[in-house]
Copies of this chain bind each other. A is one copy, B any other.
Amino acid sequence: MAGSVNKVILIGNLGADPEIRRTQDGRPIANLRIATSESWRDRNTGERKEKTEWHTVVIFNEGLCKVAEQYLRKGSTVYVEGQLQTRKWQDQSGQDRYSTEVVLQGFNSNLTMLGGRGEGGGQGAARGGDFGGGYGDDYGSPAPSRGGPSGNRGGSSAPSGGGFSRDMDDDIPF
């Protein structure tokens, strides 16, 4: 299929601390439960109404798992960008069941902490620290401007001093 897009963008709060587990070959997988909610005033009664939607987010991307583990806690506000995926499984009685999740994997995913009130405390407490646009300190840029802010790019116009000193390929932590 030429030209398919499958994208989910959420901003919401974690209902619980992230759950991190590992595959048999040691790769981390993180699960988040995220609430988004909307409120409005009922036209007839004038009452304030609110509806909360819960989302399951599954993170396969190793760098983003680290972000989840280090920075996110119950109550944290996050920006999540991933894909919709429906997984088939069997319940105890052998019946087919389906679960739809927001999956973060590969290049078109993102996870960024937006603050919020994580329960904090201890060494692993959530903090609003800079983590490089969605990555831990040890990770490269998600999309730096080649040549920098005054970046003069391409063609014959020689970058003035700056230049394109680095290859983003190596900076992308997937």
Contact mask for chain A residues 2-37; partner B; CB cutoff 8 A; 1 contact, 0 none = 111111111111000000011111010100000111
Complex CA distance for A46 and B85, rounded to whole angstroms? 25
Identical copies in the complex: 4
Task: Tell whether, in the assembled complex, residue B155 and residue A53 are in contact, meaning their CB atoms are under 8 Å apart.
Answer: no
Scan residues 118-174 of chain A and give those whose CB is less than 8 A from a CB of chain B: 128-133, 135, 137-146, 148-159, 161-174
Chain A: interface residue total (CB-CB under 8 A): 110
Complex CA distance for A52 and B37, rounded to whole angstroms? 30
Task: Tell whether, in the assembled complex, residue A164 and residue B155 are in contact, meaning their CB atoms are under 8 Å apart.
Answer: no
Nearest-neighbor residue (CB-CB) of A143 within chain B: B106
Beyond A41-B165, A51-B149, 4 additional contacts (C-beta under 8 Å) are A39-B141, A40-B165, A43-B163, A106-B168
Q: List 7 A-B contacts (CB under 8 A).
A: A3-B112, A41-B138, A43-B163, A50-B149, A53-B85, A141-B173, A167-B169
In order of increasing CB-CB distance, the 8 nearest A-B pairs are A40-B141, A106-B143, A140-B174, A43-B163, A100-B100, A5-B11, A29-B154, A43-B164
